[in-house]
């Protein structure tokens, strides 16, 4: 009799854990989706600011057609969406192109003094900060989700219900990941 109760208790515990693990995996997957949605919103905000910024710079530096075309193409790719890896690559290229755009602006003091340009530059800086915060949130959610998928015993539930690891939203540029070298030696 006690063996039967023990067996029933064990079955109830196992079923309870399976339900818990499944629900936890679904919750983690939804946090990853929420995190990606935050990044997507910020990428769209950045894409919406770019045409105004480009038009403002065009008024002063109309001879930079290739850069303007590159930015327009990258903006279209960003709006089109794609996988996390695709968006990460487009985001990295967009950051580099905007850096070149602002470098051009440095050559035109009257452009740097333009209130519209400064306002757009400030808004873009705010959006870039939001993208960075959204990326951190998303990557934290991905880390938790992937850890749960790979951890024992929840990995059995994850495999059975075909939960797939999520991709991190990487910076993409190895130079940005490197720690700067600081030399305190006196000569």
Q: What is the pLDDT of residues 58-88, one digit of tens each?
A: 888 777 888 888 899 999 998 888 889 889 8
DSSP conformation class of 1:
-
User: Nearest-CA neighbor of 165 among 151, 181, 184, 185?
Assistant: 151
* Tokens coding 29: 């997957």
Contacts 24+ apart (CB under 8 A), 110-117: 110/60, 111/56, 111/57, 111/59, 111/60, 111/61, 114/56, 114/60, 116/52, 116/56, 117/53, 117/56, 117/57
- pTM (2 d.p.): 0.81
Which whole-number Å values give the CA distances from 66 to 38, 53, 60, 175, in the listed order? 31, 15, 15, 25
pLDDT in tens for each of the 187 residues of the chain?
Answer: 788 899 999 999 999 999 999 999 999 999 999 999 999 999 999 999 999 888 888 888 777 888 888 899 999 998 888 889 889 899 889 989 988 888 888 888 888 788 888 888 899 999 999 999 999 999 999 999 999 999 999 999 999 999 999 999 986 654 444 444 434 344 4
Question: Cα separation of 176 and 173, whole Å?
Answer: 6
Domain made up of 20-170: CATH architecture: Up-down Bundle (1.20)
Contact 154, 148 (CB under 8 A): yes
User: Nearest-CA neighbor of 99 among 132, 57, 63?
Assistant: 57
pLDDT tens-digit readout, 50-61 = 998 888 888 887
Which whole-number Å values give the CA distances from 140 to 10, 36, 78, 166, in the listed order? 34, 11, 23, 11
């Amino acid at each position: 009799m006690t063996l039967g109760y023990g067996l029933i208790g064990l079955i109830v515990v196992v079923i309870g854990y399976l339900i818990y693990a499944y629900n936890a995996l679904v919750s983690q997957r939804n946090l990853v989706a929420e995190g990606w949605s935050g990044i997507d919103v910020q990428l769209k905000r950045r894409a919406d600011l770019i045409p105004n910024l480009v038009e403002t710079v065009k008024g002063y530096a109309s001879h930079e057609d290739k850069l303007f075309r590159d930015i327009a193409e990258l903006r279209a790719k960003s709006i089109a969406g794609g996988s996390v890896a695709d968006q990460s690559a487009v985001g990295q290229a967009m950051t580099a192109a905007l850096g070149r755009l602002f470098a051009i602006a440095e050559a035109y003091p009257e452009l740097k003094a333009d209130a519209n340009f400064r306002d757009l530059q400030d808004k873009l800086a705010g959006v870039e900060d939001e993208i960075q915060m959204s990326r951190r949130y998303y990557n934290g959610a991905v880390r938790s989700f992937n850890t749960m998928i790979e951890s024992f015993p929840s990995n059995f539930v994850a495999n059975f219900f075909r939960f797939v690891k999520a991709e991190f939203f990487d910076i993409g540029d190895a130079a940005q990941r490197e720690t700067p070298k600081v030399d305190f030696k006196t000569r």
